[in-house]
Structure 1
Amino acid sequence: MHLEGTILRGPDFEPVEGRVVVADGEIVRIDTTPVDSDDVILPTFVNAHTHIGDSIAKEAGEGLSLDELVAPPDGLKHRLLRSATHDEKVAAMARTLRYMESTGTGTFLEFREGGVAGVAALRDALAGDGVAFDERAIDPVVFGRDDPDVLDAADGYGASGARDADFDAVRSETREADKLFGIHAGERDADDINPAMDLDPDFLVHMVHAEPIHLDRLTDRDTPVAVCPRSNLVTNVGVPPIRDLVDRTTVALGTDNVMLDSPSMFREMEFAAKLADLPAREVLRMATVNGAEIAGLNRGVIAEGKDADLLVLDGDSDNLAGAHDLVRAIVRRAGEADVSRVVIGGEEIVPRGD
C-alpha cells in the first residue's frame, strides 16, 4: 500500500510532497517526490483518556456536579452502568468505536469500569460479538479497575483518584506485572494531587488545579499528563493550565467521558488550541505522538519503522482549501467531513458515510 499527498512528516509535522509506503503494518519508506494529489497525510490520533462505557448515557445528568455525575461508587454513570446489560454496553461501545475510527482515532487509552467483566465488554465490542457491527481495527490500551484480578485482563490500572481508596497495593502489583498505572488527579481541587504523585504513576489525568509545587514535581519526576479541557469545562471544575503543563512535561489530549462529550479529537484539538493559544504543532503532538509515548507505543508520527496508523484528509475540501498554514488549519478547523481515508495497522478502514 502507498498513500500520496502532502505528508506531515516526523514529530514536527514537516509538510513534504510525496508518498508513504506501507508493508506488514509498518511505514517502510517515505518518498519525497511531486505527486498529483490534494490529500494530506498525518498520523491517526491517540486519544489519551476515555471512558467509552459511558456510551450508554450520552448527555445524561444535565446540571449535576462532577461527583454526582461520575464519582464512584454511586455517581450517575456508575448507577447507569450497573443497570445496563452486558449486551447493551457492548452495542453502545461498538457505535462509539466506529465513530472514533471514522474521525481518525487509531488508538485510545481507556479507563474501563466494571473489573474483568468491564474489560471483557470492551473486547466484545471490538470484536463485534453480539452486535450488528464488524470487528473494529481501532487499538485500545485498556486500564481496568474495580477488581483485584483486573490486571490479568487489562493493559494497566486506571485509578479513580487518591481520595477514593488506598492504591498502594495495586500500584505495587502493576509494577510487578510490568503494566501501566494512571490516576486522576487535581480534577475537583488540588487536595489529591500530591497523594497521587506519591504513587509514582506512569501518568496523571486532568491536573486542572495544579499549583506551582505540583508543577515543580512534574518537572522533577517527568510525569506525563493527559488533559481533557472540554470535559472539565462541562463539569464546571475549571480548565487545566495547559501552557504551564506543556512547559513542564509531556502533555497529551483526551476526550474523557462519552457521557459528556463526543470522542472527537478534532473537537478537542480545536478547543485546546483556542483555550491555551498554543502553537498548532504542539497541539497536534498532544493529539498524536505524546499519547503514544505515554502508552509506550510505536506510533503517532510518520517516520520509517513506525506503525502504519495514518489519517488522510482532503486538502481540497471546502473547509481546508486555501489554508495558508496547513497544520494550523488541521488543528483549528478540520473535522469529520474532511476525512478521506483512515489506515490502522496498515489496513484501510472505510470512514463512516463512504
Structure 2
Amino acid sequence: MQLEGTVLRGRAFEPVEGRVVVEDGTITAVEETTTDSTDIILPAFVNAHTHLGDSIAKEAGGGLSLDELVAPPDGLKHRLLRAASTDEKAAAMARSLRMMEHGGTAACLEFREGGVEGVDVIRQALDGRDIEAVVLGRETADAMREADGFGASGARDAEFGELRAETADARKLFGIHAGERDSHDITPALDLDPDFLVHMVYPEPEHLQRVEDDEIPIAVCPRSNLVTGVGVPPIRDLVERTTVALGTDNVMLNSPSMFREMEFTSKLADVPAVEILRMATINGADIADLNYGLVEEGRDAKLLVLDGDSDNLAGVQDVVRAVVRRAGMADVKDVYL
C-alpha cells in the first residue's frame, strides 16, 4: 500500500510532499516525491486517558462537583455504572470506541472501573474493532492481572503500595491520578514510582523537579479539568519538564475527540502546535510502549489521512498548526488501523 500527499514525517512532523509505503502493516519507507494529492498523512492518535464506562451517561450530573461526579465509591458515575447491565455498558463503550476509530484514534489508555468484570466488559466492547485499548484495571489485584496494568484513582482514596508492587512484579503499567483537586496527593503518588501520572493541575515546584528528575510522564486532560471546575494544568511548565500526553478523560463530561482536545489545548496553553501534536500521538504511544504514533520507517502503520482540500483545510499555510487547531472529524478521509 502507498499513501501520497503531504506527509507529517518523524517526531518533528516535518511536512514533506511524498508517499508512505506500507508492507504487512509496517511503514517501510517515507519517500519525498512530487504528487498530485492534497491529502495530509499523519500518525493516528493515542488517547492517553479515558474512562469509557461513562459512555452510558453522557452529560449527566451537570452542576455537580468533581467529587459528586466521579469520586469512588459513590460518585454519580459509580452509581450509574452499578445500575447498568453488562450489555448496556459494553454497547455504550463500543459506540465510543467506534467514534474514536472514525476520528483517527488508534489506541486509548483506559482506566477501567469494575474490577475483573470491568476488564471483561471492555474486552467485549472491543470485539470486532480495530482500535486498541491499553486497559488498566482498577480496584483489585485480580483486575490488574486480567488487564494490561493498574489505574489508581488517587493516593487520597486508598493505599496503593501493595498493588504498585504487584503491578511492577507483573511487569505491567501503573498509572495514578494526582494533583487534580489540589497538591496534597502528589507527593504520595510520586512515592509510588508510577509509570505515569494523570492530571497534575496543581504541582508545586518540588513536584515538578521530582517529575523531571525521575522522568515521569504525565497525561493531561484540560477540557475535563475545566468542566469539573478544578482549573487547568500548567501545560507549558509540564512540557518543559517531561513527556506530556493528551487524554479526553470521562465520556460523561467530554466527547473522546482528540481533535477537540488538541484545539482546546492549543488555544489555552502557550505550547507550539508541533508539541501538541506529539502530545496527541507519540507521547501517549511512548507511555504505553506502542510501536506507532509517528510516520517513520519501522513503525506500525497506524495512520490518519485528512482531506487537505476540504472546505475547512483548503488554503492552509501551516499544515501542523491547521491539524492541531482547525481539523475535525469532517476532514477525515481515511483511517488505517
User: TM-score w.r.t. structure 1 length?
Assistant: 0.94
- 1:238 alignment partner AA: G
Shift of 1:165: 0.5
Name the CA distance, whole Å, in 2 between partners of 1:235 and 1:188: 10
Residue 255 of structure 2 corresponds to residue 253 of structure 1: no
Shift of 1:277: 2.4
Task: Name the structure 2 match of 1:309.
Answer: 302
Higher alpha-carbon deviation: 139-148 or 168-177: 139-148
Match of 1:72 in 2: 72
Is the CA contact 1:44–1:106 (under 8 Å) kept in the aligned structure 2?
yes
The answer to whether 1:195 aligns with 2:188 is: yes
SS at match of 1:281: helix
Identity of matched residues, %: 72
The answer for the alignment partner of 1:333 in structure 2 is: 326
The answer for the alignment partner of 2:21 in structure 1 is 21
Q: 1:71 corresponds to which letter in structure 2?
A: A
Work out whether 1:223 is the aligned partner of 2:216.
Answer: yes
1:205 corresponds in structure 2 to: 198
1:238-317 correspondence runs (5 A): 238-317=231-310
Question: Quick check: 1:114–1:147 contact (8 Å CA) kept in 2?
Answer: no
Which letter does structure 1 place at the counterpart of 2:264?
A: F
Give the Cα separation in 2 of the matches to 1:6 and 1:145: 42
Partner of 2:102: 102
Q: Is the 8 A contact 2:46 2:293 kept in 1?
A: yes
Read off the aligned partner of 1:66 and give its amino acid letter: L
Distance 1:152 1:289 in 2: 26
Contact 1:45/1:105 (8 A) holds in 2? yes
Match of 2:9 in 1: 9
Once residues 152 and 171 of structure 1 are traced to their aligned partners in structure 2, the CA distance between those partners, rounded to angstroms, is 12
SS at 2:166 equivalent: helix
- Asked if 2 retains the 8 angstrom alpha-carbon contact of 1:151 and 1:157, the reply is yes
The equivalences for 1:111-126 within 5 A come to 111-126=111-126
Per-residue CA distance 1:107-153 (angstroms, 9 max, x = gap):
110000001110111010111xxxxxxx1100110000122211221
Contact in 1 for aligned 2:177/2:197 (Cα 8 Å) = yes
Q: Which amino acid counterpart does residue 33 of structure 1 have in structure 2?
A: T
CA distance in 2, matches of 1:152, 1:212: 35
The answer as to whether partners of 1:231 and 1:257 remain within 8 angstroms in 2 is yes
**Aligned partner of residue 177 in structure 2, secondary structure:** strand
Q: Is the 8 A contact 2:141 2:166 kept in 1?
A: no
Tell me how far 1:187 sits from its aligned partner: 0.2
- Matched residues in 2 for 1:160 and 1:319: separation? 39
Cα distance in 2 for partners of 1:67, 1:185 equals 14
**By how many angstroms is 1:172 displaced?**
0.3
Distance, in Å, in 1 between the alignment partners of 2:95 and 2:206 is 42
Q: What are the residue-to-residue correspondences of 1:16-55 with 2, within 5 Å?
A: 16-55=16-55
Aligned equivalents of 2:260, 2:216: Cα separation in 1: 25
Residue type at the aligned position of 1:324:
Q
Measured after TM superposition, the shift of residue 278 of structure 1 is 1.1
Where structure 2 has 5 or more consecutive residues not aligned to the other structure, the ranges are none
Q: 2:86 matched to which residue of 1?
A: 86
Q: Of residues 302, 316, 320 in structure 1, which corresponds to 2:313?
A: 320
Equivalenced residues, count: 337
Aligned to 2:230: 237
Residue aligned with 2:320, SS: helix
Q: What is the rounded CA distance, in whole Å, between the counterparts of 1:143 and 1:122 in structure 2?
A: 11
Q: Deviations over 1:226-265 (max 9, x none)?
A: 0000000000000000000000000000000000000000
Q: How much has 1:270 moved relative to structure 2?
A: 0.5
| In 2, Cα distance between equivalents of 1:177 and 1:147 | 14
